[in-house]
Chain A
Amino acid sequence: MAIRALLAAGVLLMAAGLAYGDDLAEIKERGVLRHLGIPYAGFVTGSGDGLDVEMVRLFAKEIGVEYRFVETDWQHVIEDLCGKKVKPAGDDVEILGEVPVRGDLIASGLTVLSWREKAVSYSVPTFPTQIWLVARADSGMKPIQPAGDPDKDVAAVKALLKGHNVLGMADTCLDPSLYGLKEAGAETRLFTGNLNELVPAIVKGDAESVLQDAADALVALRKWPGEIKVIGPVSPLQQMAYAFPKDSPELRDAFNRFFERCRKDGTYVGLVRKYYPAAFSFFPEFFK
């Protein structure tokens, strides 16, 4: 019954997408590309720049339209793109109602998750990531020693979790339920602020540890030297990508072409070096 309901929800969602999304031709006619973003680490700094902001600006210039940033939040970002209020249900989504469409693409360090793929179309991977467990310096959890195998490293981190609390954020890539932390014995908590406030929460003592994607954790290590430590990974390597409405295949394809060209001519590497210089050390394969 529940599978049927979800299937129906998926069909409805696709149908709704057909009704509301704007593809490349409409965007060119409108003359504005609406970039949905949330101030987050170096992807969208909140000061008018960031890795994703600069990339989307270049893309808007490429397709000959004006760039416009539309700020949203993690709770609403998917519905603001696809026009449907959705709720994750495992690897699927449930539709809760209709909402206005506010943007044409999401570019904000958005991790590729199974449930999100039911609601949006992703571009080619734009940035590698991994979810790390970051703890306050005085935490009893000690950083693991890498075994050279990500799966073994994840298992080593989970073995440390029993009796420790972990802060995450629902419906994002930092949702503890995605990584089985509760089952590993952790006391999981959900944070209701924005992602940039997660690490300050543990520094202030609101929780002992927090989930962070690798890119954000690197920024945090610079901001709070000596106050936090990286325990290790809780997920295998993941990918970030830009999200498009299901009914905007031409827009997505245009972006994919643009992105590959930026990778080849060094534009993208230059921007990554500007905002995430450490990424090359941690994910050499991706930037090879």
Chain B
Amino acid sequence: MGHLLDWPRGRAGIVLVGTTLLLIVFIGFLLVATVLSHRRVQHFAREQFRRDTEGKAMALSYYFSERKNDLKNLAESPAILSFFENKALGMSMEYGLAASLLRISEIFQAFLNERRMEGNPIYSDIVFIDTEGKALVTVPEGKERRAGMNWKDFLQPEQPDVAIIVEHEDPLAVMCSIPYFFKSLYAGQIVAWISAEATEDLAGADKTSSRLRYLICDRHGFSLGSKSGQGDTLKPDVVHRFDENNANGASTETLVFSARIKDTPLSLISVLPASEVGGGASVWHLPLGMGTLAVLILCGTVLAYRVNTQRLVLNTRLEEASRAREEIEAKNRAMNSEIVERRKAEEALKELSTELEEMVARRTAALSTTIEELNQEVKERKQAEERLKASEAKTRRIIEAAPVGICIHQQGRYVYVNPAFVEVFGYENVHEIEGQPVESLFFPEDRDLVRERGRVRLAAEKEVPLTYEIRALKKEGKVFPVVLGGAAIDYDGEPAILGFVMDVSAERDLRRQLLASQKMEALGTLAGGIAHDFNNILSAVIGYAELARMKLPKESDVMPDLDEVRKAGDRAKNLVKQILTAGRQTEEECGPMKPIFIVKEVLKLLRASIPTSIQFDEKLDKDAGDILADSTRIHQILMNLCTNARHAMREKGGILTVRLENVEVDPDDARAIRIDPGPSVRLTVGDTGPGMAPEVMDRIFEPYYTTKEKGEGTGLGLAVVHGIIESYGGKIAVYSEPEKGTTFHVYFPRIDAPSQEAAGAAAPAVLPTGAERILFVDDEAPLAKLGKRVLENLVYKVTALRSSMEALRHFSEDPNRSDLVITDLTMPDMTGDRLAQEMLKIRPGMPIIIYSGFVEKSVRQRVKSTGARAFIEKPLTAEKLARTVREVLDRGIGG
């Protein structure tokens, strides 16, 4: 120390003093410069602190502005509108209105879930309060802290816009509140609690200083995080200094700045330790220290060095503060730039809005034109629609009136059927069918086909025949044939099948009858062709047998054999006749007759032959009218029908029913049985046998069709009956059910003419004879010979010739050589009728008889036109020949 005070003297002392003084001056200068620099740094740091706080407040202002927009959007939700509309309609909570509230609840919940910032929810609660102060919807439900709240305090009908409000709860609660108006009337308030956490996160802390804190407070000093009473003491735009005691009880100076958050009742307060801005010491502490240092500088350069070192430290801090300031300024610039951008965007929006309005005006004008055009189009469409409706109505009337069954089915079920369709299937109305599965109306075995055809038509996989025939079911279960047709269509926008159905029962019957008729015709043609030759043969057989019998004594042993020959010949003759009858190749002389006599006669015969296990049930109307028929044929018909009935009941017995009565066939029945309407006589024969299957019934009138065992029937019986009845203009109808029996109804046209009573008189046993001369002509030797011998047996004088030409020559030579000419019709060179004509030219009035196996009416007429006196049908029998010859000869010339 003494060494230091050892001041030099002399020039050195002067230099030292000078140097010291210079040093002191220099140190003083340094001290002043340092103080000034330090103060400037502190000032800049505070300014930065203030600007930073204001920037944060601006950011929070935008944040709260966004929250207002959130609530505005929420208030426009259709769910809220729907609730008030339903309420306005008078609906009660119990019946529907509560559902609308629930919808609002859902919307609110979604609102809370969707509004988030960095994963944290922005809102914690939301409530809809009605005008009576009742919380209609609270989300989340049942929060304890909301219980007991006086919701009326939140109603702000006089505040038309959305607002940020605060509630002095502990801690401070910030809410966004918007009034709700329905049809311009205040209807309630929506209040949403803004989460303190999200807001504080947004405010955050300055990263450049971990000790910087922010508080969001209302004007009473209540902060989001905790209660504080400082807010109301702070003047805005001023950086305040406060002494704050830390946890260790030490006092620390802090800087505090308060900035208003625009459009809210809130302020942002920044708190920063003063030591963070320009160091912890006062600016005057350093000069004082430096002064002391200047006094002590003389003590050595070491102390000066220390002073310089402190200055260097200060400079370093200044540079750091400057860098911090530059960063804050950069942030401010960025924020300002964002504000500018937003303003530009707003202006652009305004421009856009103007353009939009102009565009709307243009579009409105265009829309007016379009509306006019649309009105015109609507008018035209209405007209077209009316025309379409008229057309549809017309089409529907046509379909409803169509005689063909029409249906539409979709997805396998009938969706439309017309009345004809209902009638075809025997239902009473369309509702019984509509909705039924399509296949339900068809015979079970045919349903797969119906389904398959429908499927293929819809899928258009391949060509389907336009129509096809299957079996259908009447409502009562009766099977009947139908022809189905269909096409895939679009019905009510979905694929469907348009179907047509025709009951072809009648056509099928006609077809069957036509087939039977054609068979009959073919049989008749065949029979007619062979009958002539066959009858010639039979004539010989029967004739010679008769001739032989005439010549033999009655007690001859040969007589029974000849009788058998004769019987066989007769059977053959009858067979030919039956074939001809079945084929309607015969023409018989019919006359008025009363069928009751024949019926009684037949029944009398049958009683004797039918077993006792079969009972008769006969009811014969004695007033049954006359019919035009041959009694033999009526006999044949009844006998045939009764024989069949007996056969049907041969095993189990039963009841044979026979009816004869007058009936009036009305037009409907006439159509059904295909007979002319009017008075008829009906003969009914029924049995209680096993009945017939439909397929048997279809064929019973076919020639040679029989269900009997071999040898029990020829299969001609019903064919002959059918042929006879048809030839009389009548009809035969059959009804049969398995296990119930069969009934035949025979209808004959009734006539008014009086009839001859049927005579069953037997032919006289003795044949008439004569002594006249007879020329007998037949090209077949056996028949010529037979004719000659039969007639000679009857004592006539007979010349038999086998050639018509020879006969003509014989006659020409002496026309009076013969009293009667008998000639066959069919002969080579000259036919019988031609021969007769030639002979009559030579000798008019000459008695001539022509015989033939052809029995057609035309043949008879041809014969009659020649002037011949009689026609005999082959085969010739002695009786027939004897009676006709005698009759013609007895009639005399011109008789």
What residues of chain A have their CB less than 8 Å away from a CB belonging to chain B? 75-76, 85, 96-97, 99-100, 132, 137, 142-146, 153, 217-218, 221-222, 225-226, 229-233, 277-278, 281-282
Contact = CB atoms under 8 A, between A and B. Distances in A.
Interface string B94-110: 11101111110010000
B478 to A, nearest CB: 15
Contact of B90 (A100, A132, A142): A142
B440 A229 contact: no
A132 B85 contact: no
Contact of A277 (B95, B106, B413): B106
Interface of B: 78, 81-82, 85-86, 89-96, 98-103, 106, 413, 432, 435-437, 440
A76 B435 contact: yes
Nearest to A232: B95
B437 A229 contact: no
A100 B451 CA distance: 14
A218 B99 contact: yes
Contacts of B432: 96
A228 B244 CA distance: 67
Given A229-B86, A229-B89, 8 more contacts: A85-B436, A96-B432, A99-B436, A99-B437, A142-B90, A153-B95, A221-B96, A278-B98
Contact of B91 (A99, A143, A153, A282): A143
Contacts, number: 75
Nearest to A133: B95
Contacts of B85: 225-226
B95 A143 contact: yes
Contacts of A153: 94-95
A17 to B, nearest CB: 19
Nearest to A282: B98
A146 B78 CA distance: 26
Contacts of A217: 96
A204 to B, nearest CB: 16
A177 B873 CA distance: 83
Nearest to B78: A225
Given A218-B96, A225-B81, A230 B91 contact: yes
B107 to A, nearest CB: 12
Contacts of B96: 132, 143, 217-218, 221, 229-230
A221 B98 CA distance: 11
B94 A146 contact: yes
Listed from nearest, the 3 A-B pairs whose CB atoms lie closest are: A225-B82, A230-B96, A226-B85
B99 A222 contact: yes
B185 to A, nearest CB: 16
Contact of A76 (B78, B102, B106, B413): B413
B78 A278 contact: no
5 contacts: A99-B440, A143-B90, A143-B91, A144-B95, A229-B91
Contacts of B99: 218, 221-222, 278, 281-282
A30 B351 CA distance: 72
Contacts of A222: 82, 99, 103
A287 to B, nearest CB: 14
A75 B436 CA distance: 10
A221 B86 contact: yes
Given A146-B92, A225-B82, A278 B437 contact: no
A3 B101 CA distance: 50
Contacts of A229: 86, 89-91, 96
Contacts of B86: 221, 225-226, 229
Contacts of B106: 277
A115 to B, nearest CB: 18
A132 B95 contact: yes
B820 to A, nearest CB: 80
A218 to B, nearest CB: 5
Contacts of A233: 95
Most chain B beta carbons < 10 A, residue from A143, A232, A277: A143
A225 B94 CA distance: 17
Given A221-B100, A278-B102, A281-B98, A75 B89 contact: no
Contacts of B102: 277-278, 281
B441 to A, nearest CB: 11
Contacts of A99: 436-437, 440
Contacts of B90: 142-143, 229
A157 to B, nearest CB: 9
A105 to B, nearest CB: 21
Contacts of A225: 78, 81-82, 85-86, 100
Contacts of B89: 137, 143, 226, 229
Contacts of A278: 98-99, 102
A100 B437 contact: yes
A250 B81 CA distance: 50
A230 B92 CA distance: 8
A82 to B, nearest CB: 15
A146 B96 CA distance: 11
B95 A75 contact: no
A221 B435 CA distance: 32
A278 B104 CA distance: 12
A130 B103 CA distance: 21
Contact of B435 (A75, A230, A231, A232): A75
Which residue among B81, B95, B440 has the maximum number of chain A CB atoms within 10 Å of its CB?
A: B95
A146 B93 CA distance: 9
A143 B98 contact: no
Among the interface residues A76, A85, A144, A230, which one has the most CB atoms of the partner chain B within 10 A? A230
A225 B85 CA distance: 8
Nearest to A222: B103
A195 B96 CA distance: 19
Contacts of B93: 146
Contacts of B413: 76
B82 A230 contact: no
A137 B435 CA distance: 35
Contacts of A281: 98-99, 101-102
A154 to B, nearest CB: 11
A223 B822 CA distance: 109
Most chain A CB atoms below 10 A, which of B85, B86, B413: B86
A211 to B, nearest CB: 14
Contacts of B101: 281
Contacts of A218: 96, 99
Contacts of A143: 89-92, 95-96
A32 to B, nearest CB: 20
A222 B81 CA distance: 12
Query: Chain B CB within 10 Å — which of A145, A146, A225 has the most?
Result: A225
A249 B529 CA distance: 78
B92 A145 contact: yes
Contacts of A76: 413, 435
A144 B94 CA distance: 10
A233 B95 CA distance: 8
A137 B91 CA distance: 11
A143 B100 CA distance: 15
